Structure 1
Amino acid sequence: MDVEQVIDELYGVEPGEFVAARDVRAGEARSAEDPAAAKRIAALRRPTLAAWASNRFVRERPEEAERLLALGATLQEAHRLLDPATFREASGQQHKVIAAEVRTTAALAEEAGHPLSASVQQEVEQLFRAVLADPEIAAEWSTARLSKPPEAPVGFGAITPEALPPRPESPEPPDRRAREAAKKAAEKAAAEAALRDEELRAAKTRADEADARVAHLEEELRQAKSDRKEARAAATRAATEAREAHAKADGA
């Protein structure tokens, strides 16, 4: 049994189906006399709704997930180098990017039949901020196997470009090409987030229009069924009256 493949499959199922699916696969491992695999599978934790939604985002929007990881790497590097200019530039993009990705995640979850409450969306936002700030969390998140968001807020905290310690008077200037690449990556991520927002709005508009058409057709179908019922009743009465009329004619 390929345990890694099984784990990937399990963290892709619907939240309410996870436990049953996990127990079935653990049972299969035991039947195959693979106790190590059975133990590992049985120990898997059911993902919270926020973690499941985040996992779905990673699976369904891999390119956007990669851009979020790239933005996180830019922020982490700027923070490490105490580079206020790059940090300020990337920080200005992260709020737009996170807001857009949270909306995308909520839309994907609703599409799957699991709308996210405001509090769950807040958990997703906290998770995305942790992904930007912590490379270990980012690495785990990118596997789409999270069972829960970080227990405590993780991020750059109160450190801002203005609050960064002063740099040495004769600092080693950061590589210009790296800074330009980081800036372009952040700008591209923000532009992509704006594009996804527009696509999301257009998709919602199409969905609303489709709902309206469905409602109209359902009403027409209901009316047609009612008309059919009345027509059949009228036909039955007419047939009865015709038989009675024939019977009277035959008797005469």
Structure 2
Amino acid sequence: LRPAEFTAARDEYVAKARKAGDRELAAAISALRKPTVAVWAAGLLARRRPKEAQSLVQLGEALRTAHRTLDAGQLRRLSHDQHVVIQELARTARALAVEAGQAVSEPVLHEVEQILHAVLADPGVAAQWMAGRLVKAPDAALGFTGLEPAPGAAPPRRAARPAAPAKEQVRPPDPDAGGRVVQVRRERARAARAEAAEAEAEAERLEAARAAAQEAADRAGTDAAAAEEEVRVAGERLETVRAAGADAAARLKEAGRAAAKARARAETAARKAGKLTGPEG
């Protein structure tokens, strides 16, 4: 059902549950809230295109794996793929909504894309979406949730320094300190490369969004110009019709005067004829 049909359908089921004497079920159904158009369109995509939906979920799993391992090359490739896939799926969701009789504006389409980004980032959201149980738009995805770096994939966190001892202690030199420093530097370098790859992917996503916005603005400008031309043509037609109407009114008025004169002449002629054909005639 389209979102506009949700409330009436829900209330009908509530009434049936109450009639059956199941107050608990009636209360549970009554608590359901109408989804936004964006959430409804995203859910329609999951129900009508399950294979494409599963592919998006698998892409999210691959991205999380790449983040865990800090694989810069894999991150760069998958990050590019995710923007292409999300834009394509969002357009598919819009087409499905239109087929169902629900228009989807550009802001709503952008919200659908944000929902699909959250599906990629959060496996919990992905599970709800795949089951058709997503009831509200999740928060904007700023990263991947529930991730822990794989062993050796990220630099170790620095432990808090213990309180200084009352008496300074001289520690013997650590023969492995140099190797650990090198390892830490390597891990930091890998983390930096992964961060750079993610930033590059984000830049690509923003550029794609800017291009889409520009395309929408161009379409709006073209539509506005066409509408202005239609208004101009309609104005000219209106003026022509008004002029024709005024001319017809003038002709009608003139015809009325001519008819009145003709009737007067006819009456005069009839009176003359009556005199000529009277009893004395």
Q: TM-score, normalised by structure 1?
A: 0.56
Aligned residue number for residue 16 of structure 1: 4
Aligned counterpart for 2:54 among listed residues 40, 45, 66: 66
Match of 1:156 in 2: 143
Provide the C-alpha distance between the structure 1 equivalents of 2:64 and 2:20, rounded to a whole number of angstroms: 45
For residues 184-238 of structure 1, what are the alpha-carbon distances to aligned partners after superposition, in whole Å with 9 as ceiling and x for unaligned? xxxxxxxxxxxxxxxxxxxxxxxxxxxxxxxxxxxxxxxxxxxxxxxxxxxxxxx
Q: Which residue of 2 aligns with 1:31?
A: 19
Distance 1:71 1:87 in 2: 11
Cα distance in 1 for partners of 2:154, 2:112 equals: 31
Q: 1:85 aligns with which of 73, 82, 87?
A: 73
> Between Structure 1 and Structure 2, how many residues are aligned?
152
Letter of the 1:61 partner, please give it.
R
1:153 alignment partner AA = A
Counterpart position of 1:119: 107
Could you give the per-residue CA deviations for residues 74-130 of structure 1, whole angstroms, max 9, x where no partner exists?
Answer: 111221232323222211210110111011111111111212111000100000000
1:166, CA displacement in angstroms? 5.8
Q: Give, in whole Å, the separation in 1 of the partners of 2:25 and 2:67.
A: 41
What is the distance in 1 between the residues matched to 2:31 and 2:69?
A: 40
Distance 2:126 2:22 in 1: 31
Identity %, equivalent residues: 45
> Structure 1 counterpart of 2:55, which letter?
R
* Matches of 1:166 and 1:102, distance apart in 2: 37
CA-atom RMSD in angstroms: 2.2
Q: Which residue number corresponds to residue 55 of structure 1?
A: 43
Runs of 4+ displaced beyond 6 Å: none
Q: Greater Rg, structure 1 or structure 2?
A: 2
Note the 1:139-154 alignment, pairs <5 A: 139-150=127-138, 152-154=139-141
Identify which of 36, 59, 76 aligns with 2:64: 76
Is contact 1:132–1:155 with CA below 8 Å preserved after alignment? no
Unmatched runs of 5 consecutive residues or more in structure 2: 145-152, 157-182, 188-281
Correspondence list, 1:212-251, <5 A: none
- Which residue in the other structure is 2:124 paired with? 136
Matched residue, 2:84: 96
Work out the CA distance in 1 between the residues paired with 2:18 and 2:69. Answer: 51
Cα distance in structure 2, aligned partners of 1:74 and 1:40: 37
Alpha-carbon distance between aligned partners in 2 of 1:148 and 1:106, rounded to the nearest angstrom: 18
Q: Does 1 or 2 have the higher relative contact order (CA < 8 Å, sep 6+)?
A: 1
SS at match of 1:106: helix
Q: 8 Å contact 2:125–2:134 — kept in the other structure?
A: no
The answer to whether the 8 Å contact 1:129/1:155 transfers is no
Q: Give the superposition deviation at 1:165.
A: 5.1
Separation in 1 of the partners of 2:102 and 2:9? Answer: 18
CA deviation after TM superposition for structure 1 residue 155, in Å? 3.5
Assess if the C-alpha contact under 8 Å between 2:2 and 2:101 holds in 1.
no
Moved more, 139-148 or 92-101: 139-148
Listed one character per residue, the Cα deviations across residues 27-65 of structure 1 (whole Å, up to 9, x for unaligned) are 211222222211111111101000111111111101000
Alpha-carbon deviations, 1:150-203, whole Å to 9, x = none?
1x311428xxxxxx95695799xxxxxxxxxxxxxxxxxxxxxxxxxxxxxxxx
